[in-house]
A and B are shown apart, each in its own frame.
Chain A
């Protein structure tokens, strides 16, 4: 080989090496606009600093838009996203369809055994973990300590629905725009039906029996929905049938709700003095029950998953490992304080003495532990999911049933009529789906 050829070969080799050394893989992350997700986006520079060969592109969308976009992309194998933020509703369905990449091979240091069992079970299909939980949430009672004291009542750590009703009656002062109870009334499977399905569990109701027959015509559902409608119409804010999470958060922060039963993630908002006028007066209790062995709280985990169509699976796994690790938790704590750490996914977080000082930490853990997605109702059911039914048809059924109950709450029809229609439409949908 001549000198000239040798130089050319060496140069080509050097260039090839340099190119591969600086080859950059871009991973596109689809996420929701929730506080913890935005915080992760802000801290992502720490990840790219330690992974210079990976570039991150973010697509932040509203929850329902994101759900539609990723469903469409994953079903059509569009390959637009490498990491997607999905919830406990999607994971069992998509995992069973082989639409997601298994995460069973994440590094041992990631410590899969540290994930809270209730959360891990909700993200596992036939032994395969299909999503890594970023933050978990349940629901609980948030109440005004000052109003309870004024009413001469004390909130038990684990109240019953009757105690909640009594407290709501005692705290309501409509002349001063203080309403004893705020609950979701806006129609939607993720809105009022999340509350009602979880609430129904504590009243002994179930959505389907073991043979997938709809149960909205049962006595238990009539009791649940009548209690809900009476409670909100008696002691709730005006226009409750249009209130979702944000509307109730706004009311609570302005001191207009005596109690609010909703996602545990709300605790950090209502106790933040910058936004809440009642930040120092908020107490927490477990979601109510009726002594039947099930509480009315739900379980949800925003999780990171890799769609099967991604061409950057390894890089996506590296990102997920970082974002859901104990080290990420420590990073958030060091930068933004323990109260802002993504909650509800790891046992180790709740063993941390610093985190134990956060006022809502213990109640969040207890609420999560009180929910069992594999055995949500008093009677046996053929589905998983506490506040939803993990079947593809549920989003449509839940939203339509939610509309009927919302109409009953608004006084446009009776509870009996709403449940009759709910039973009929659910039966039709399930028959059409071949159940």
Chain B
């Protein structure tokens, strides 16, 4: 009897997980399907799911009109650069907080997180003016710095959580064997925290890839990433939903593929230390 209940619960859980998964995935699927429709079919009522004449015209129009590769390259540089720079800064910070905590460590951690509660638009104008003075407007360097600063609290928090799971005795043993601070972090701590660092890297890469406020406000033509590419197909006067969907599909495709191949690492990293 107990076994039957477990079996039933399993079925219910699986069905619930699939339902939630499909609900979350449906808008993405709809965007992808719409990208293969004509503009007329895209707005058809009742909506057409699969039985339509598939066309690649929207992709050809988007590729002809926009320099997709330039937007893609900018996204890779900005998301990758900000994430790596963030990790380089956050690893020593998280190490000190996890293994050599001071009286104010918890306060500092909370303060760092509180900066995420400030609406970005509140500091837009000061940052815009600083960027003008420093010649950083419409530059990838500027965006790497801003996105790194934006994601740094999350990176530090995540790494701090992972580092706390590593027994301090191991690091102590390394120190007793003559390891300096650099060796301790690089050769002892980092390899042990690889799943956590990998998931932090991935999550922050995704966050930086999808970031649309700063990337739209601080770029023009040269450093504009894929978020600006999508925005260029949105129109209040004209139905270009199929083309917008094609642009969106092209923008999310790289991150979807990356997420698909690294889902194991993402899940293991995010659940790291969750079950004791």
The stretch among A75-83, A138-146, A320-328 that forms the contact with chain B is A75-83
Query: How far does the alpha carbon of A433 sit from the alpha carbon of B131 in the complex, in Å?
Result: 30
A78–B129 alpha-carbon span in the complex (Å): 8
Tell me the bound Cα distance from A245 to B216 in angstroms.
24
Interface residues of A in 163-207 (CB under 8 A from B): 190
User: Nearest CB to that of A254 among chain B residues?
Assistant: B45
Cβ of B63 to closest chain A Cβ, rounded Å: 13
How many angstroms from the CA of A266 to the CA of B237 in the assembled complex?
8
Set A38, A64, A79: member contacting B65, Cβ < 8 A: A38
A265–B234 alpha-carbon span in the complex (Å): 17
CB closest residue in chain B, given A31: B232
DSSP majority for the B interface?
loop
Looking at the complex, which of B25-33, B36-44, B48-56, B161-169 is the stretch in contact with chain A?
A: B36-44
Name which of A8-16, A54-62, A369-377 contacts chain B: A54-62
From the candidates A78, A250, A263, A276, name the one contacting B137 in the complex (CB within 8 A). Answer: A78
Whether A78 lies near B237 (C-beta < 8 A) is no
Contact A244 B44 (CB under 8 A): no
Across-interface contacts of B19 in A (CB, < 8 A): none
Which residues between 1 and 48 of chain B lie within 8 Å of chain A, taking CB atoms?
A: 38-40, 43-45
Tell me, in angstroms, the Cα distance from A217 to B259 when the chains sit together: 56
**How far, in whole Å, are A30 and B124 apart by their CA atoms in the complex?**
20
- Nearest B residue (CB) for A137: B237
Neighbouring B residues of A277 by C-beta, 8 Å: 40
Q: Measured between alpha carbons, how far is A32 from B129 in the docked complex, in Å? A: 25
The CA of A78 and the CA of B219, in the complex, are separated in Å by 11
Within 8 A of B (CB), among A63-77: 63-65, 68-69, 72, 76-77
In contact, B132 and A77 (Cβ under 8 angstroms): yes
Q: Is B240 an interface residue (CB 8 A)?
A: yes
State A253–B39 Cα separation when bound (angstroms).
Answer: 11
Indicate if B68 sits at the interface (CB-CB under 8 A).
Answer: no
Contacts of A190 in B (CB 8 A): 236
- Asked if residues A33 and B239 are in contact (CB atoms below 8 Å), the reply is no
Report Cα–Cα, A118/B228, bound state, in Å: 35
Q: Is A246 an interface position by the 8 A CB rule?
A: yes
Within 8 A of A (CB), among B212-271: 216-217, 220-222, 224, 228, 231-240
Minimum C-beta distance from B52 to chain A (A): 15
Assess whether A61 is in contact with B228, with CB atoms less than 8 Å apart: yes
Q: How far is the CB of B158 from chain A (nearest CB, A)?
A: 31
A42 within 8 A of B: yes
Check B128–A35 contact: CB distance below 8 A: no
A28 sits at the interface (CB 8 A): yes
Q: How far is the CA of A64 from the CA of B124 in the complex (A)?
A: 17
Q: How large is the interface on B (under 10, 10 to 19, 20 to 34, 35 or more residues)?
A: 20 to 34
B residues near A79, Cβ cutoff 8 Å: 132
A78/B239 in contact, CB under 8 A:
no
Contacts of A269 in B (CB 8 A): 238-239
Complex: A220 Cα to B141 Cα, angstroms: 56
For A62, list chain B residues within 8 Å (CB): 231-232, 234-236
What are the residues of chain B within 8 A of A35 when measuring CB–CB? 238
In the assembled complex, A101 has its CB within 8 A of some CB on chain B: no
Do the beta carbons of B129 and A61 come within 8 Å of each other? no
Task: Assess the A28–B220 pair: CB atoms within 8 A.
Answer: yes
Is A154 an interface residue, CB under 8 A from the partner? no
A28 cross-chain contacts in B, Cβ below 8 A: 220-221
- Residues on B with beta carbons closer than 8 Å to the beta carbon of A33: 232-235, 238, 240
Query: B232 contacts which chain A residues (CB < 8 A)?
Result: 33, 59-62
In the assembled complex, how far is the CB of residue B123 from the closest CB belonging to chain A, in whole angstroms?
13
Of B65, B221, B235, the residue contacting A41 (CB under 8 A) is: B65
Q: Across the interface, do B221 and A64 meet the contact criterion of CB distance under 8 Å?
A: no
* Chain A to chain B contacts (Cβ below 8 Å), 17 pairs: A28-B220, A35-B238, A57-B222, A59-B220, A62-B232, A63-B237, A69-B216, A76-B132, A81-B220, A246-B235, A246-B236, A246-B237, A249-B239, A250-B43, A254-B45, A269-B239, A275-B39
Chain A residues packing against B (C-beta within 8 Å) = 28, 30, 32-35, 38, 41-42, 57-65, 68-69, 72, 76-81, 190, 244-246, 249-250, 253-254, 256, 263, 265-266, 269, 274-277
Given A57-B220, A78-B131, 9 new contacts (CB under 8 A): A42-B65, A60-B232, A61-B232, A63-B236, A64-B236, A76-B128, A77-B132, A254-B43, A274-B40
Chain B contact residues, CB within 8 Å of chain A: 38-40, 43-45, 65, 124-125, 128-129, 131-132, 137-138, 216-217, 220-222, 224, 228, 231-240
